[in-house]
Each structure stands twice: as C-alpha cells, then as structure tokens.
Amino acid sequence: MKVSIYVRVSSDRQVEKELSVPAQVKAIQQYCLEKGWIIVNEFIEKGKSAKTDDRPEFQKMIALAKRPNRPFDAVVVHKFDRFSRKRDDHVIYKALLNQSGVKVISVTEQTEAETPQDMLLEGMLEVISEFFNANLATEVRKGMTQNAKLGYNNGGTPPYGYRTEHIALGNSKTKAVWVLGPREEIDVVKWIFNQYAHEGIGYTKIASELNRRQIPSQKGGTWASSTIRAIIFNEAYVGRRCWNKQDYQTKGKKWRDRSEWIITENAHPSIISEDIFNKCQENAKKRNTGGGETHKPFDSKLASPFWLRGVMVCEKCGSRMVGNSTSSKMKGGKKQYYVCGGYLRKGKDFCPYAGWNKERIEEIVSNRLRIHIMSLLMGNNLVEEMRQFYTESNQQHTTQKIIMESELEFLKKRIELIEDDISIGKAKPYHQEMLAEMQNELREKSESYLRLTSNWSEFHVPKEYVAGIRYDIHSFISLLDQEVPNPQLLHALASKYISKLYINRDTKKIYLSLQLTMNDKLMYEKTMVSEWK
C-alpha cells in the first residue's frame, strides 16, 4: 500500500522534545517498514496548531488526496491529535478522505474503525484529545493573564526603542520584561512624538524624513506612514502595558472593549510623557475624524467604493494602487483617486506621487472589459479561445514531440532491417555491433520521449468549469451595466480575473490583462491596451 505521512509540531519548543519532527518521522517510517507500506509523500507542519484546519501542508495533503489520480491510499500519523485536535474537523476531514478511498492511520493508537468497538475507541481518543487541547488553552490563558497583570511580557517583539530582557525569579524561573533600547532609538521615538505633537508634521512626512536621513526602521528597512501611526498610538511609550486587546480567535480582526484589556501602569520605563502622548491623540482627532480612535470595532469599517483597489498596480514601483479621497471642503468638492500605496506609506522619496481619477479609470476599464468578455460569450468562443491559447503556449512542446516521434519511428525501422539481415544470414560482421548501438540509442530516445510526454495532456476543459466562467462573465456584465454598480461584488470578480492593470505614465496607455486558471493551471490570458484620454 502506498501511504503519505503527516507530521506536525505546534511550537518550536516541541521540536526539541520527544514528539519532534525527526522522532515522529522515524516512528512512522519504522511502522510502515514493518507493514511493507511504501511512503510516497511527506507532509511536515512546523509550528502549527491542530485546533484549526488552517495549515498549509495539511490542506495540500487533503487536496492531493481528492484528486482522481491520487498517489497514496492512506495517511499515517504518529497520533490522531497530530491530524486534528478539534472533533468536528477530525470527523469532517476523515470522512472527506474516506470518500476518496483514503484511510487515516495512527502509529500509536492503532484502530482500523472497522468494528463498532474500534469506532467507539477512536472516537473516545479524539474527544480526549480535544478536551486536552481546550483545557490546556484555558490554563495557558490563566497564566498569561496573571503574567500581564504583573507587567511581564507574554511574548512578541517589543516596540521600537525597547528590548526584551529576562530576569531571574528563583527556582530557575525567569520572566521577560521590556527595557530601554539603544540611545539613538530612544531619541528617534522622542523626535517622532515631538514632530507630531508640536510641529504639526504628519505620518508620511515624518517617515520620509527618517528615510532621507537613512535611519533604519525596527526591521532594518524603510519607514512607512503606518509604522509612524502605530508608534503615535502605542501606549507602551508612556510605560503602560496593554494586553488582551484583540480576540485572537478571529486572528486579531476583532478588538475587545477596553474594559476587557489587562492594563498595567509603570510596567517598564517610559520614553515620553503622558502630556505629549495625549497631545498627539488630540492632534490625530483634529487631522482625521476617525484617526484618533484607539481601535475600530470589528466589521465597523465602511465598504470601499474603489473596486479596482489592489488590482491596479503602480507602473513605477509595483505597489498596489489604493483608493484615496480629497476633503469635501476643498475647492471643487470631494474628489476620488487611485493612488500608489507605496507613496502613501513611505512618501515621495520611495515613489513619485501619481494619482489617477477614479471615475475615469473605472469607466475606461469597464468599457474595455465589457467589450472583450461579451465576445467570449458568443457561441463557443470561450472554449475556442482557451484551445488556441493552449495550442500556442505548447507549440514548442508539440513540435519537439513530433520530431522525437519521427526519430523513434526511423530508428525502429532501421533496427528491423538489420535484424532481418541477421536472421537470413546476409549480415556483415559489424552489423551486430551496429544493432547494439542502435538499440541503445532507441532506449535512450524512448526514455527522453517518456519524460517529455509524462506531463503532457490533450486539451480538455470540463463543462462545469466552462459553465462557471460563463456565469461569472454574465454577472460581471450585469454589474458593469448597473446605474450604481456594487463595488464589493465588482472587486471580487476583478480580483479573480484581472491579473494585471497599470498605466504607463509616459505614454498614458492602460494595460489590462485578463486571466483564466483551472487548478492553478493557466488556461487563457489576454492583454488589452487602451488610451488614457
């Protein structure tokens, strides 16, 4: 039986314990060797929790198992909790694999789930594993909460201007605290707060000035406006430690109410005073009506009207273009533009400013898209366009295949002639040697031909795929034709099918590339050029 092995450790520390990656792999290999099974794939997950299915190697393994030509018949794990510690995930994915004819086998918990008793035992093991995980999470949470109340660090990188230091508490225990970093970093933090509080300088200009002075950021790169904003609103700089601000079950998307935060005053040395920090918060509120919020509630962000955001890129630096609006108080009223994200984050030293009128660029792109995708709906154009693209993309491969087939056929005929001469006694003394050389050449060319054609397949597009594309195209056209289009739905379709969109600043030409893929395979690509007028 051909099998794949799945190995997981949930933290870097576990790598050094008995359930480390090498230990799990060795145990599984030994088990498979005893069973006479062949290991064809290894999926190794480092530092990933089994509480969720958001694991790259795990998802890659599931996707491979669902293929019609799957290369393995079973997944072997060290223990079932390596596969999943969440009962519903375990059941769902195990059932999914079972539908594809793939078993999940544990080395240390050997149940085949073929009898009611085995199914009960396996279910109990899964439930115990999930309980252990949930209970462990609760206990860890308690410890981290107490840690935060005492002002200790619960992990993570300290803010710019601070460093982590471990202090001894006795009984060989240590705790992490934040201490002041290098003098030059402390001076930079003070300068940033002073510029924002007293000089009226904004995030972008502060970042640009630091980059001009070639002062490295925390990670050694350039400064961005978002980095400056994070510093201005970070209460750590007044010596205050805030923990439990975000709900990590939502991966940090949901912010908790401030009443739920664990706030510790004087947890570490402060760099700036409370007065200058508060002055910065007041200035932020004045500069931007929403800028002074300590955090924004979950899903409170208004839907963006810019449906080409992130799809369009800056021709000069490659950054994604983002939506930007001028103030309604300015002359001429509020105007909207697509602006280089690199410019907004890092300033004009990183990329010269270039904004494009939102209404105009969306109008040009809509007209160009509408014309082209409508033509794909006519008759069998969609399939024929994909067939032509496939043929052109594989033209060199096809030519090479035809040449090799001719060479193989020629060699076979020559070998047959020599073998005939030998069989009737007409062969010369050197014919036997020639035959051996030609047979060796035929073998080598046959192997080359096999390698060339192993990944080769004739053009084939499932009807379901074509139907899905046609449905999306109909939806796209319908949205573009609406008097007031829905920017969220348009953005979803544009992100799915537009692979490239940029404007050449010198020629004012707009380049729009449409792309269709199937199972990560490029099926069709077309680049259209329009004029900016």
Supply the residues annotated as catalytic: 10
DSSP 388: H
> How many alpha carbons lie under 13 Å from residue 425 in its C-beta half-sphere?
0
Give the burial string for 65-93 (b: 16+ CB within 10 Å, else e).
Answer: beeeebebbbbbbbbbbbbbbbeebbeeb
Distance of alpha carbon 228 from alpha carbon 280, whole angstroms: 12
Contact 80, 125 (CB under 8 A): yes
Three-class HEC string of 496-509: HHEEEEEECCCCCE
CA 234 to chain centre: 28
Instruction: From residue 91, give the alpha-carbon distance in Å to each of 44, 84, 88.
Output: 21, 9, 5
The whole-angstrom separation of Cα 94 and Cα 104 is 7
Which of 360, 298, 318, 309 lies closest to 335, judged by CA?
360
Residue 137's SS3 state is helix
Q: Are 504 and 511 in contact (CB under 8 A)?
A: yes
The whole-angstrom separation of Cα 238 and Cα 248 is 25
- For residue 105, the SS3 value is strand
